[in-house]
Structure 1
Amino acid sequence: MVEVQVTETIDCPADRVLEFVMDPRAYAAVDRKIGAIDWVRRAGDVTEFRFGSKLPGIPGPAVKVVSRMTRTSDERVDVRLPPIPANRLANLVSEFSASWVCVASGERTAVTRTVRCGFKGPAKWFAEPVLRRTLRPDVEDEMRQAKAALESSGETR
C-alpha cells in the first residue's frame, strides 16, 4: 500500500475548496490523474464520474474507472471506487481511497489531501515501488495548482 498525504494552506473558505473538489471537470484542470471524463452525476453530497485514470509513472493507457466522491461534512470529502460492475478492472487490480480534509481559520483553509493505492497480485511488485517515487510529487503539484486556481479565481472570498 502506498499512502501520500500533503497539506497546503489556501486563502479561501473551506466550503469553496470542497465545492471545487466536488466538481470533477473543474478539478481535472489541477489533477493529472484525471483524464478524459465521460460523464458526471451529482446528487446532493455525492458525485460520481467516469474517467480515464492515469497513475503517475505507471506506463500504459488510462484505465476507465468510476469514482464516487462523498462530502461527509463541512470539512471533508472522501473518495472511493464503487464496486463491480462499475469498476470491474480497477476492483480486480487495486485498492484505492482518497480524501480532502479542511481546517478553516477565518478565510484561510489548511487542506490535507490523502491518496492511498494498493495493488494485488503481480501488479503490486511493479506498481507500488513506482508510486512510492512518483505519487508524492504528483500530489504536491496537484495541491499547488489547486491553491493557485482557487486563489486566482475571484471566487475565493
Structure 2
Amino acid sequence: MEETVSCPPEAFLALVMDPRRYAEVDRKLGRVDWVHRDGEVAEFRFRSVLPGLGPGPKIVSRMTLTPGERVDVRLPDRPENRLVRRFSTFEASFACVPVSGGVRVTRRIAFGFPAPLRWLAEPILRRKLPADVEAEIRGAKRLLER
C-alpha cells in the first residue's frame, strides 16, 4: 500500500514509533499493555487482531527506526512470542520517501504459516488485509494532516 501524506517523514515515523497513538488508526493493534523505547528501538506488548481471523494471544513486537527513512517491525525472540513464532512468521515495514508536498509512505506486511494453517489463514488475509491496511494508512494520513 502506498499513500502520499502531507508531512515530513520524521512526523510519520514518529507516529508509527508511538504504538499507543498508532493504535488509534490501526485496528490490528489491540490494547497496548506497555511500551519500552531505547533510542531507535521500541518494544511493546499488545493483543493483535488480524482481519478475518480475530484476536490472537498477547505478543511483543519490536520496531527499529532508521531515522527519516523507515521503521521495520518484527517479533523478537521472547517468551511471550513463543506460540506465535511457532505457528507463523511476521515482518512489516513503513518506508518513507520525501516527495513534493510531503512523503510517500509504503506499508508492507508479510505473514507466513506452516502447511496445516496456510490453507485457512492465507486466503482470509489475502481477502481482508488489503482493505484493513488501506484504512490504517488513510487514518494515519487524516491524523497527521489535521
Q: TM-score range by the shorter chain?
A: over 0.9
Aligned residue pairs total: 146
Q: Secondary structure at the match of 1:54?
A: strand
**1:51-104 CA deviation, whole Å, 9 max, x = no partner?**
000110014x33211000000242110000001423011101100000000001
Note the residue ranges of structure 1 that are not aligned, 5 or more in a row: 1-5, 153-157
Equivalent in the alignment of 1:88: 82
Note the residue ranges of structure 2 that are not aligned, 5 or more in a row: none
1:10 counterpart = 2:5: yes
1:46 counterpart = 2:41: yes
Q: Give distance in 1, aligned partners of 2:18 and 2:71.
A: 12
Equivalent in the alignment of 1:112: 106
Equivalent in the alignment of 1:151: 145
- TM-score where L is the length of structure 1: 0.89
1:98 counterpart = 2:82: no
Q: Give distance in 2, aligned partners of 1:129 and 1:94.
A: 15
1:24 counterpart = 2:23: no
Q: 1:69 aligns with which of 52, 63, 72?
A: 63
- Give how far 1:107 is off: 4.4
- TM-score where L is the length of structure 2: 0.96
Greater displacement, 121-130 / 14-23 = 121-130
